[in-house]
Structure 1
Amino acid sequence: MGSFLHQSPSKRALNANLPYSGPAQTAVHADDAHKLPEFVNDPSPGPGSGMSVLEVLSHLYSSPALQAPDYDLHKGTVPLQHCALALSLNRNPAARQPTPHPTPVFLDPEGTKCFLSLSSAENQLRIQHNHPAQLIKLAYVDHELEKDHTILSQFDTTDFSSGMAHASYLISKKGSLNLPGITTLSKQTAEELLLKDAEEHHCFINTKAFHNHLSHHVLAAYDLGAPAAVLERIYEKEKKLQRPFYLEENHRTDFVVTKDNWTEHLGNRNAYGAYVKFFEEEIKVLGAKNLLETYMLSEDANKDGRRMFVRLASGVSGLHPLIAVGYGLEFGNDELVATGLAQAAVHKDDGHEMLECVNDGPAPGQGISLLEVLSQVYESKALEPLPYDPDKSTFRLQRDALAKSAAACPIVSQFRIPNSPTPTEVSNAIEEIIWVSNLLPFASGKRGRKTRLDFLLMHVLTCSIFLQPLCDALEKPEYQAKFLRAYVAGIIFVMMWRGVPRIDPELAMSPTATPRSPVVNDRGPTAALGDPNDDAAYNPWPAIIEDAQYHADVHLVKAIRGVLYASRRYGHTKAGDIPGAYRDDEKTKEVFRGIGKVDGTLFVRSAGVLMDQLGWMTYGQTKGDWNYVALGWDEAWDALED
């Protein structure tokens, strides 16, 4: 803190807790942060000294200098909207346990309680990162910045600097759905569970490199409004599958990743813990956006066989590293971004041949729709699957697809997103991808056959919810275009992996648009304005959402979130208005037969199929399962029916 002798009279009065009757004060907006005086660079108090955030605000609140006539303190209208308060920050890094999220209570000089509503989690993270210039957002001060910055300098930031081992584990953004039911307790519980998972568990649950889905399940259920008790049950169920953070105790010391050697252990699963620690430190310095640019998209991150973009975005991994990073960006959780990038680092760079084309796209206004891309995949002789072999494992089928993957590049590069797209072009591309990602799992069955939902195609759906958060994080149009083309390549690779299953749009539209749980409302007539037993007056989503929150299958929860997200964005779409459904502007030539009949009810129809296949568990049905057999081959269907 600056010397007391160098403080102005008003500052000395505040610091000495003496009366001060200077001019009224006004709020400083975040945009005025450049006007900060040098106090923000004053050294913070040493460990064990200084004020807590609440003490700083309490001091400011009780200061006579801040009794501005245009602020109603007792109604909580003091301009504290930029207070990135650490109400949930961990002030004891050694314990590494989150503190509660209390409603902040301050006392005025007469002892009257004043409840203030404080928010702005983004700034909260900045404080954790110990950016001194953001301390202005801890309180309201006047434009002259002359009266109370001494108090601000007393804020103890030492707890949030180098001594803090992990990145921010807080949920600082609302999820894509943010459904009612989310509470302070459920948020705090989710944060605690996410941190425990990040600190205690490896990204692979077995030697076959099956992925840890614990954090996915927690956040997907949380976003649907699941109570804290359900989140805890999810954790207890999923943790039984996990392996320790360090697979062997010696990995703790054998692998140490630094800026100088971070490329040396790429592809080594035993180095996962070391990469997590490394990216935790890097994200505290760089922030999530710059971390991704530096370690995923930069030339340095991809030269000499490093291929970090491939390791993250390739469909060979089932999109899992991308999913992990996507959750982190969607919910503003830096810890998940760090662990997702660490997960990418220990994946192999398989599939790089297919991503060679993602840097170059068509000229603006040129190219073809994603549905036309699929049509070309179906027509390509080079991408025809090998003859059906019932003895081939999933991993053998993956190798077969990899051997042909380079042939997909000329098709992927035609997708109509230019190298430097406008925001509208990015939005349009995301819409096309979401439609296709929803069609593939539900339109790739066979008429007259039992409904089967492909496990890997489902990942294309669940990952599509992260397209917008990822594009928002990348910011640069050329990076957004590269990522979206890579996602298209990932879709095509998963299709090849599954034997290139063909979509039948009319099949996807055949299930009911009013799916129901096994128990219906059998109450008699009432004075209510409509009867939920009548399909015309029935909204299926509440029952679906309620059951999905409690479902034991993590992928069901994620898939329901995916179709619900798509419904919120595009559920209003009329038949014939799906982007790219027709080859001509006159809408006379469908890309696929029946695609012109698909409308926004696709998503609720698909949700009903999901619930019927995986089970309405809160109504007593047993948990169903996904299909793990590649159904692009007709022979595979025949074998399943035998």
Structure 2
Amino acid sequence: MATATKIDLSPVTDSGIYSSNVREDTARTASEILQDDMAAHHVFFNDQHFHNHIPHQLLSIYALGAAPEDIKACYERNKSYQRPVLPTSQDVIQSMHDVAKFQEHLGKEENYPNFLAFFQHEIEAKGVGGVLGEYLFAGDERAENMMCRLFAGLVHPLIHLGFGIEFNQPAIVAQGLAQTAVHDDWLGRTFFLPAEKMAGGVGKPGQKSLLQLINEMRADKALVQSVQWSDSNKIKDGVLHRAPEQMLKYASQFTVSEDQTEERLADMINTVAYYTGAAQRPTREMKLDFFLIHCVNSSIFFSKIINLPSLNQRSKLRMLEWKGRVDLLMYTSRGTPDLLLDEVANYPTKEDWSQIFARSIAHPGDDGHLAKLARALAHGQKVCQAYESKNPEMPIKGDMWLRIGNIAVDSTVHEEDKPMWIRSTGFDEAWEQAHI
């Protein structure tokens, strides 16, 4: 049985929101290796705070039907560059029960193992639902401090927490909360909270879909020109530096009332797949943007989050609103790329989902991003099918999901002189730098 300190996957109960041919022997192997990763490795693998993706990759390929040897091969390949786990301090862990001290420890990388131990103890005592309710969704100063960090770091804390929730693993939930705690909060303070205030709070009936807002933003010259290739951080130094009011104006318009939840979920999943797949150049090879794929990869968890019995309605709506807002921000920050839907619609579907999954599992250079993307796209097709006739304006429909899946595996073929992904696809320089 899975606990706050023990990872234990069962194919019967823990195969995830979307899975294909999950195996019992793989579940055992993945559980053992994820346990080893938790005991041996730090959350960041370098000083630039690049994230340890091992749990993301292993859970993704496990859900896609990987064999035990695939799990072992991925772990061997990706553990070589991880940093060892940092020491814990019992004094620091104990002090975290004090609200003021807890907040003093936030945002400090060295406290990751302390936060991990703290959240493991809390989950053992109160359960996952109780801990999420208290430390993320309570609405008090401490919980708001954590919420402001959840969507930081290219939404990696959200992704990690999402995997823990999706696969019913309290230990991975504890990792996700600990990871959240050591990220910074500037994006929450500068963007999410002001957008929410401008929207008039949480759960207001939304007048515009995410797709409508994307199209309006593309026509806003000030917003489009707010990001420059030379910006080191294209969110902080670009859009939120040069056009914060415009960005907040659009972000605040993405709101979700209770009766809109399912439809807005489909809208969000469809829109991020659209801008990730269609951000192409007709004279270039097909490539997908590394930053934009994170919006797709993190979308899958919301099918579970909006149905969590332990989560109150306001928190579900708030999570979905923040997800839509970060999707708007991410698109603009990549240079507001032109979206060429015909490039997707005309792409050949040489392989079906099972073949795409097999290639994602076996990819010799993937650290989990490709496998996450393939699974999220297949899930997106499942979610959005029900809305194709009701919402014909949704751009990704029918076999386009499979076409983007084919683009994903074809464009990431392992070649020494070519990157798997393009970065900031709206800029000419990104394509030139990638030698495509």
TM value normalised by structure 1: 0.61
The question of 1:607 aligning with 2:405 is answered yes
Task: Encode CA deviations 1:298-325: one digit per residue, 9 max, x unaligned.
Answer: 222447xx62112012xx4111000000
The one-letter amino acid paired with 1:437 is: V
Give distance in 2, aligned partners of 1:571 and 1:225: 23
The question of 1:399 aligning with 2:211 is answered no
The question of 1:447 aligning with 2:282 is answered yes
Q: By how many angstroms is 1:629 displaced?
A: 3.2
Give distance in 2, aligned partners of 1:579 and 1:354: 32
The question of 1:431 aligning with 2:261 is answered no
Q: Corresponding residue for 1:186?
A: 26
The one-letter amino acid paired with 2:353 is: W
Give distance in 1, aligned partners of 2:185 and 2:360: 35
Q: Greater Rg, structure 1 or structure 2? A: 1
Q: By how many angstroms is 1:410 displaced?
A: 2.5
Give distance in 1, aligned partners of 2:346 and 2:157: 34
Distance 1:207 1:572, change over 3 A: same
Q: By how many angstroms is 1:174 displaced?
A: 2.5
Task: Encode CA deviations 1:23-72: one digit per residue, 9 max, x unaligned.
Answer: xxxxxxxxxxxxxxxxxxxxxxxxxxxxxxxxxxxxxxxxxxxxxxxxxx
Q: Corresponding residue for 2:427?
A: 633
Greater relative CO, 1 or 2 (CA 8 Å, sep 6+): 2
What residue ranges of structure 2 are gaps of 5+ in the alignment? Answer: none
What residue ranges of structure 1 are gaps of 5+ in the alignment? Answer: 1-88, 90-124, 129-165, 517-539, 582-594
Question: Which of 289, 307, 320 lines up with 1:484 in the alignment?
Answer: 320
* Equivalent residues in 2 for 1:149-228, closer than 5 Å: 166-171=4-9, 172-183=13-24, 185-228=25-68
Distance 1:433 1:326, change over 3 A: same
SS of residue paired to 1:180: coil
Task: Encode CA deviations 1:250-299: one digit per residue, 9 max, x unaligned.
Answer: x5467435211222110000110000000001111221122112111222
The question of 1:560 aligning with 2:370 is answered no
The question of 1:456 aligning with 2:291 is answered yes
Distance 1:192 1:343, change over 3 A: same
TM value normalised by structure 2: 0.88
The question of 1:408 aligning with 2:244 is answered no
SS of residue paired to 2:105: coil
Percent identity, aligned pairs only, is 25
Q: By how many angstroms is 1:361 displaced?
A: 5.3
Question: Which of 115, 118, 124 lines up with 1:284 in the alignment?
Answer: 124
Give distance in 1, aligned partners of 2:433 and 2:74: 35
The one-letter amino acid paired with 1:307 is: N
Q: By how many angstroms is 1:475 displaced?
A: 3.0
Number of residue-to-residue matches in the alignment: 421
The question of 1:515 aligning with 2:350 is answered yes
SS of residue paired to 1:297: coil
Q: Corresponding residue for 1:307?
A: 145
SS of residue paired to 2:296: helix
CA RMSD of aligned residues (A): 2.6
The question of 1:341 aligning with 2:181 is answered no
Distance 1:548 1:396, change over 3 A: closer
SS of residue paired to 1:319: helix
Q: In the alignment, is the contact (CA less than 8 A) between 1:378 and 1:500 conserved in 2? A: yes
Give distance in 1, aligned partners of 2:420 and 2:262: 31
The one-letter amino acid paired with 1:499 is: G
Q: Corresponding residue for 1:374?
A: 214
* Equivalent residues in 2 for 1:264-283, closer than 5 Å: 264-283=104-123
Give distance in 2, aligned partners of 1:558 and 1:229: 19
Q: In the alignment, is the contact (CA less than 8 A) between 2:103 and 2:142 conserved in 1? A: no
Give distance in 1, aligned partners of 2:429 and 2:417: 27
